[in-house]
Chains A and B, each alone.
Chain A
Amino acid sequence: MLTLKKGASRALIYFLEIFVIVISVFPILWVIMSAFKTNGEILSDPLALPSSVSFDTFVHLFENYNFPQYFLNSLLAAGVSTVVSLLFYAMGGYVLAKYRFPGRTLLFTLFTVTLLVPAHSKTQPIFNLIMELGLYDNLWGVTLVYLSTGMAMSIFILRAGFMSIPKSLDEAAIVDGAGFMRIFWSINLPLAKSAISTAGILMFLSNWNEYYFASLLTMSDSQRTLPIALSYFTSEFSYNYTQLFAALAIVVLPGIILYVFAQEQVQVSMASTGIKG
């Protein structure tokens, strides 16, 4: 009886593991597989393997459409905003972690309480702000908005990272005559590496994948990021399924590749997003 129960629960465990793997990977594999099939093959049997493997569709997409441009746009918007905001929030998180000054608790509370405000609810003021700055339909407008999106979480993660660096190191450096900048730049910043990469990966992934504000703040083809381009592409070329699937694969793969390389770090990062959210 006991072994039967044990066997059943073991079977359940394996069933659930397989279920999770299938629902997570299968849709993506199917997209990639379909990108190698012809229109006819896709329509006649969606589950069949492609009859031949050729990269023509991908080459075609890169040569005839602006995919290199979209790719570059995504990389610029997500990369620049991540690097700049990491620097800003590292500076903020550092002084909030290590110094006592008037307004410290108030500022920390204000910065982190923004986590409670859904970004979507600020749509109209942000739309107007970007209009007034003359940055509508401009990739830099989108980048500017991305600077702000990870604020609460990054300050939270980075402050905790700096707090775990022993103060005795700073004090030793003061005795040695190091200035404020030097203590930040050469002692604290290198030691906060793991917090910085956690915050950086989270911000980069969310900005790379961002759709809402990018769709709201851009119009023309030359300013589109990959997710936006994809949505236009699917409405314009809804008859050419091979190209649609290839475009989807192009949009999806970079994120997955980044994840494969930084797997542990991403998992730790993702788990920490929930912490006292």
Chain B
Amino acid sequence: MKKKGIKPGRISKNHWERKNYKWIYLFLLPTIIIFLMFYMMPILQVFVTSFTQWDGFNEPVFNGLRNYKNLFTSSAFLISLKNLFLWALIAMFLHVGFGTLIAFVLYQRRRGWKVTRAVFMIPNVISAAAWAMIYRFFFNNNFGILNSIIRKFNPDFDVQWFYQSPWAFWAVTLTWLFYAVIVTLLVFGDLMSIPQELNEAAIIDGAGGWQLIRHIQLPLCRSAIATGVICSLTSRITMYEQISLTTAGGPGNDTMSLPILLVNAVTDYRYGYANAIGVLMFVIGLVMMGIINKAFRMNDSDY
């Protein structure tokens, strides 16, 4: 809504901008350097060297798709793909579902909703490493809380959660399953921005509580839920601490994940192989994001 009358001012502003180009680019310089050093160059390096055999000391040798072929025939990699797929499904339906449910609970604004919201954040502000450690103790067979509660009902209960198949997979899942505060905050934000008249109009039209949620409120949170799904899928791809500090991928390869394999390859000086895993992480992320965008019709507007 620019007024035509301020044209002289805009010309002088343009002139002023041109005069200050050196300042403008100087201000951008640190960010550009960081971008080149930590994003541009590393990403190019990852892509290029994923097609080579490289130990970090000798020059990389081009070997075509060998690394990728090796990956897709390695059982550890295939299991970590299977885990990622399972975890992605659990994240999408249970994790995001729980986060959304809590957002709707908060939206009712019953007594305690502010405390609940504040406290739900705590697991997210402490280090993931510490949280993994807490859970390692929590699930400990000798002095962990879970087993001592179960033993009150069944004295013979004896499970080493993080060390026994098939429990390890579910123990790792439980370290993040219910901690969906990001989803809750996103959905809650969207709920709060629903115009009050819309809720009132629906109630006048005779909509009951569940109908209001199902036909009005839930559809209007669509994009927040989609963003929540993307956030939570991204953290499934990059899941490291929760695994490295509890099971380290074991027992066997039961809880193997891509970042664990990647770090193992780096410490074994198999750089080309490690970078092929990096490329696949990136590609899987993009594909997932594309699917979610399509599925939730993210680009359509609501109002």
Contact = CB atoms under 8 A, between A and B. Distances in A.
Interface of A: 9-10, 13-14, 16-17, 20-21, 23-25, 27-28, 30-31, 34, 42-43, 45-47, 85, 88-89, 91-92, 94-96, 99-101, 107, 110-111, 114, 116-129, 145, 147-148, 151, 155, 171, 174, 180-181, 184, 205, 208-212, 216, 226-228, 230-231, 234, 241, 244-245, 248, 251-252, 255-256, 258-259, 263, 266-267, 270-271, 273-277
Given A13-B110, A14-B110, A122-B42, A255 B126 contact: yes
Given A147-B34, A151-B34, A270-B124, A171 B129 contact: no
A101 B21 contact: yes
B285 A118 contact: yes
B127 interface: yes
B65 interface: no
A42 B241 CA distance: 25
A47 B152 CA distance: 11
Interface of B: 9, 13-14, 16-17, 20-21, 23-25, 27-28, 30-32, 34-35, 37-43, 45-46, 49, 56, 101-102, 105, 108, 110, 112-113, 115-130, 133-138, 142-145, 148-149, 178-179, 181-182, 185-186, 188-189, 209, 224, 227-228, 230-231, 234, 237-238, 240-241, 245, 258-259, 262-263, 266, 271, 274-275, 277-279, 281-282, 285-286, 289
A168 to B, nearest CB: 10
11 contacts: A23-B179, A27-B138, A91-B31, A92-B27, A114-B35, A120-B281, A122-B278, A123-B274, A124-B45, A184-B27, A252-B134
Contact of A100 (B17, B39, B40): B17
Given A46-B145, A120-B281, A121-B281, A266 B125 contact: yes
A25 B42 contact: no
A118 B239 CA distance: 11
A270 to B, nearest CB: 6
B301 to A, nearest CB: 13
Given A107-B28, A148-B39, A171 B125 contact: no
Contact of A270 (B24, B39, B133, B185): B185
Tell me the interface secondary structure of chain A in the complex. helix
Top 3 A-B pairs ranked by shortest CB distance?
A: A121-B278, A125-B42, A148-B38
B218 to A, nearest CB: 16
Nearest to A23: B178
A123 B149 CA distance: 41
B266 A127 contact: yes
A111 B36 CA distance: 10
Contact of B279 (A121, A184, A216, A271): A121
